[in-house]
């Protein structure tokens, strides 16, 4: 079964607004990553947060990690049309070398 589950499944917001999507996972992890996938393309790595980190920033992206709740959130500030994509979280368990993806959140930025 899949380790990470993103929430919501789909999200539509106005350009300029902030977008928040969440990821919950089941087992203890070493790291959690977020990826973006534009329609019909491969995935692009956005950010990695380690299990001993609580928050990380990269440009307009802010990722938080709460290992006690086994959850992470990805915040995209000041959204742009180019942010329209699917976003996936991926976790690597501390029990094996598998990197498991969730089902993703489809983000649509409205003009």
Partner 1 sequence: NAGVTQTPKFQVLKTGQSMTLQCAQDMNHEYMSWYRQDPGMGLRLIHYSVGAGITDQGEVPNGYNVSRSTTEDFPLRLLSAAPSQTSVYFCASSLESDGYGYTFGSGTRLTVV
Angle, vertex CA 67, rays to CA 62 and CA 72, nearest 5? 30
CB of 1 or CB of 14, closer to partner 1 = 1
Report yes or no: 15 and 107 within 8 Å, Cβ to Cβ.
Answer: no
Stretch that binds partner 1, among 12-20, 56-64, 77-85, 91-99 (CB under 8 A): 91-99
Asked if 92 is part of the footprint of partner 1 (rule: CB under 8 A), the reply reads yes
In the region spanning residues 32 to 51, those forming contacts with partner 1, defined by CB under 8 A, are 33, 35, 41-45, 48, 50
97 binds partner 1 (CB under 8 A): yes
Beta strands in 1-111 (DSSP E): 5-7, 10-14, 19-24, 29-37, 43-50, 55-58, 61-66, 71-76, 85-93, 99-101, 105-110
- Least distance (Å) between residue 46 CB and partner 1: 8
Binding site for partner 1 (CB under 8 A): 1-2, 30-31, 33, 35, 41-45, 48, 50, 88, 90, 92, 96-104
């Amino acid at each position: 079964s899949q380790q990470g589950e993103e929430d919501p499944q789909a999200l539509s917001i106005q350009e300029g607004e902030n977008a928040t999507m969440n990821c919950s996972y089941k087992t203890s992890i070493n790291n959690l990553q977020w990826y973006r996938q534009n329609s019909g393309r491969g995935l692009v790595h956005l950010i990695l947060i380690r299990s001993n980190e609580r928050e990380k920033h990269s440009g307009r992206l802010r990722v938080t990690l709460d290992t006690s709740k086994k959850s992470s959130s990805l915040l995209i500030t000041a959204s742009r049309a180019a942010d329209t994509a699917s976003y996936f979280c991926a976790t690597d368990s501390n029990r094996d070398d598998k990197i498991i993806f969730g089902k993703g959140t489809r983000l649509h930025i409205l003009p």
